[in-house]
Structure 1
Amino acid sequence: MIFFILALAVLGCKEDPLPKPKAMLRLEFPKAKYKQLNSECDFTFDSNTASEITAKEDCSMVLDYPMMKGSIYITYKRVDDNLRTLLTDAQKLSYEHTVKADNILEQPFVNDEDKVYGMFYEVTGNAASQSQFYVTDSTDHFVTGSLYFYAKPNYDSIYPASVYLQRDIRRIMESLKWAE
């Protein structure tokens, strides 16, 4: 009788195995809120209030996003008969990632009203930088920017943060205005 109760207890308590549903980690970031960055530099743009900005004397700056472990690095240079060199360097920097990148998508940017012209590079794959851009007025000003994460590049893992920060880069390009 005891053997029967023990056997019933052991065999009766098992549930049918069920497969685990496939799931993806869902990362949610706050809705972007923008404010105009006012500085003593020769340009202004809208920056996400979620970023922490560190500016340098040469008008270069870092927009740091601690919760995403990423940063947008922005560099400013004056154009002094060196536009071709600046353009070549910016394009070369973007294509240095082709070793690890699966694809680099070029998206031209033109804002005739504010005289802002440039290119946005979206990099897919396990490259060090997921986005690069440059903008210029072709005569006086040149701004480049790069998105980096402070983690080993794993495209699948950083993709949600990358998309979020690429929207911020596009906002920077679209709102950029040169000082009078």
Structure 2
Amino acid sequence: MIKRTLGFLAIIMLLTLVSSCKKDVLPKPTSQLRLDYPVAKYASFSNHCPFEFEMNEDAIIKEDKDCGFSIHYPKMKATIYLTYKMVNNDINTLLRDAQKLTYEHVIKADDILEQPYLNNDKKVYGMFYQVDGNAATNAQFYATDSIKHFVTGSVYFYAKPKFDSIMPAASYVKNDMQRLLETIKWK
């Protein structure tokens, strides 16, 4: 009976050892947050300032001084800043300053793509800049009629600029900025 019990225990121990041998346990990789944003709906924005434009209905707009605006995206921790200046025979200076502001990001940027914008019917001319890489801003633009009006816009995120992390939000806001530029009308 002792031999039978020892044999039975040996079989149980052997089965336990065989069944407990599994592959090494590996830690799960860290997951990334999936960011889905609603389809943008645009509405016209107009007030006493000498220009109007379309903006995302989900954004919150706040007027700053001298017809400047802050368009806030709370879910994305982003803000589009618009500034307005009158052209007083200084269009070359305004253009140079707008371009200089964009190219100050060249230190951190991987690439800066320039997209000219021309709308002869509305007399709106400008440039849209897409800044790729870990720069403080990933999109900027300027628009002018070359005679009276000059508007600049740039987006900033309230997060450390890691382009891979903010790319979905950056792409969403960049599309809103392009829409804003393409819908500017002078009054």
TM-score, normalized by the shorter chain, greater than 0.5: yes
Larger-Rg structure: 2
**TM-score (norm: length of structure 2):** 0.87
1:60 matched to 2:48: no
Q: What amino acid is aligned across from residue 66 of structure 1 in structure 2?
A: P
Partner of 2:110: 102
2:145 to 129, 134, 137: 137
1:147 matched to 2:173: no
Residues 13 and 38 of structure 1: CA distance in aligned 2, closer, same or farther (over 3 Å): farther
Percent identical across equivalent pairs? Answer: 50
Give the deviation of 1:155 after TM superposition. Answer: 0.8
**TM-score (norm: length of structure 1):** 0.91
Give the deviation of 1:140 after TM superposition. Answer: 0.3
Partner of 2:81: 73
Give the deviation of 1:6 after TM superposition. Answer: 5.2
1:107-118, aligned counterparts within 5 Å? 107-118=115-126
Give the deviation of 1:8 after TM superposition. Answer: 3.0
1:5 to 8, 12, 37: 12
Q: What amino acid is aligned across from residue 34 of structure 1 in structure 2?
A: Y
- Between 1:14-23 and 1:52-61, the stretch displaced more is 14-23
- Between 1:71-80 and 1:50-59, the stretch displaced more is 50-59
- Between 1:88-97 and 1:4-13, the stretch displaced more is 4-13
Where in structure 2 are there 5+ consecutive unaligned residues? 1-7
Between the two proteins, the alignment pairs up a number of residues equal to 179
Residues 35 and 4 of structure 1: CA distance in aligned 2, closer, same or farther (over 3 Å): same
Off by >6 Å, runs of 4+ in structure 1: 17-23
Partner of 2:174: 166
**What are the Cα deviations for residues 61-91 of structure 1, in whole angstroms up to 9, with x where unaligned?**
1111011111110000011111111100000
1:177 matched to 2:173: no
Q: Secondary structure at the match of 1:129?
A: coil
Give the deviation of 1:159 after TM superposition. Answer: 1.0
Partner of 2:44: 36
